[in-house]
A = this chain, B = another copy of it.
Amino acid sequence: MKSINKIEYAIGIDLGGTNIKAAVCTSDGKVLGSPLSFSTEGEKGPEYVIKRINQAISHILLLELYRTKVHAIGIGAPGSVDYKRGHVLHPPNLPGWKNVALARIISQRWNLPVKIENDANAAALGEAHFGAGKNLDSFIGITIGTGIGSGIIMERKVVHGERGYAGELGHTKINYNGPKCNCGSYGCVEAYIGNNYLVQRTAVELKHHPSSRLFSRVIKKKITLTPKEIADAARHGDAFAFKILFDAGEKLGIALANAANFLDITTFVIGGGIAAAGKPLMDGIVTGTKKNVLATFRRRINILPSQLGNNAGMLGAAALWF
């Protein structure tokens, strides 16, 4: 393995339940070329997924230019990650994975050093280095998707906690009498705003709103109800869809208020697919956070959209080397 003083190019890999994204990233935050995107096909198990990751790396290193310049690989992986040993423990979205020594496996295959970080931490790190958090000492990066992940940046470093599993903000109980969450507990904020829950709840309420655009798309035209459909309807002025997203944002705001009260960190960077829902969701988040946070913190509350969007995780994974 080569010994390097300062790494300027690293492959950043965002290993998701649905897609694997990879690209060469530079230490000044550029993504070279278009990121590759492979479907993960996680149901085929860890060996297959590792093969997919290697395919992505192989594609990148086909280019002579990259082969000579790239000296390291960073991976953002879902669920609990043992970042010190480079193990992926048992991500809920990747069946069959149990304590996989991913860093070592990939490192041996390519003779390059590999670091691994939890995907939400990687996304926050990306924003910290190159995005909305560039000028901030401390902030909390939120990723809204199937689950709600968060990465805590404190004094420009990721907070790992005892084992590296810090950031499970999605399982903040905002109502102990609330709906059941797939973690087995009740009233986690994820059970209000996570993609599947949001879609389920919308489906239930939809029948009471026959004049909404969403009703006509989903019930009449049989278009699948997705967070994107809800967001699109809201953008087209559908008051029902707007309210669904605003309410979801408000619920998330309660968890953010809890976090701000607890850590005196008042800036949040919101990313992930549904974050693209834009105004109604963001308005809800701001309202919910300010309403629920202590007066001491209220004026400082600052809710920012992600600047790196879908590239945050990839750039942050590469930034493990910068």
Binding site for B on A (CB under 8 A): 80, 137-138, 150, 152, 154, 159-169, 171-177, 183-185, 187, 251, 254, 257-259, 261-266, 291-292, 294-297, 300
For this complex, 12 residue pairs linking A to B, each with C-beta atoms less than 8 Å apart, are: A137-B162, A138-B162, A166-B262, A166-B263, A166-B264, A169-B261, A171-B261, A173-B254, A173-B257, A177-B177, A258-B258, A262-B262
Cα distance, A56 to B132, chains bound together (Å): 50
B161, B254, B296, B297: the one contacting A264 at CB < 8 Å is B161
Closest Cβ–Cβ distance, residue A170 to chain B (whole Å): 8
Chain B residues positioned under 8 Å from A176 (CB to CB): 174-175, 251, 254, 292
- Docked-complex contact A172 and B264, CB < 8 angstroms: no
Cα distance, A254 to B164, chains bound together (Å): 21
Interface centre among A138, A174, A258, A259 (most CB of B within 10 A): A258
User: Contacts A154-B159, A173-B292, A292-B173; is A262 near B261 (CB within 8 Å)?
Assistant: no
- Docked-complex contact B174 and A173, CB < 8 angstroms: yes
Chain B residues positioned under 8 Å from A257 (CB to CB): 173
Closest Cβ–Cβ distance, residue A278 to chain B (whole Å): 24
- Docked-complex contact A262 and B138, CB < 8 angstroms: no
- Docked-complex contact B165 and A80, CB < 8 angstroms: no
Closest Cβ–Cβ distance, residue A259 to chain B (whole Å): 7
- Docked-complex contact A185 and B264, CB < 8 angstroms: no
Q: A177-B177, A259-B262 are in contact. List 13 more A-B contacts (CB 8 A).
A: A138-B161, A152-B263, A162-B264, A164-B264, A166-B262, A167-B264, A168-B262, A168-B296, A172-B258, A174-B174, A174-B175, A175-B187, A183-B294
Cα distance, A292 to B300, chains bound together (Å): 30
Interface centre among A137, A165, A175, A176 (most CB of B within 10 A): A176
- Docked-complex contact A297 and B258, CB < 8 angstroms: no
Chain B residues positioned under 8 Å from A300 (CB to CB): 162
User: Contacts A176-B254, A185-B291, A292-B185; is A266 near B166 (CB within 8 Å)?
Assistant: no
Chain B residues positioned under 8 Å from A160 (CB to CB): 264
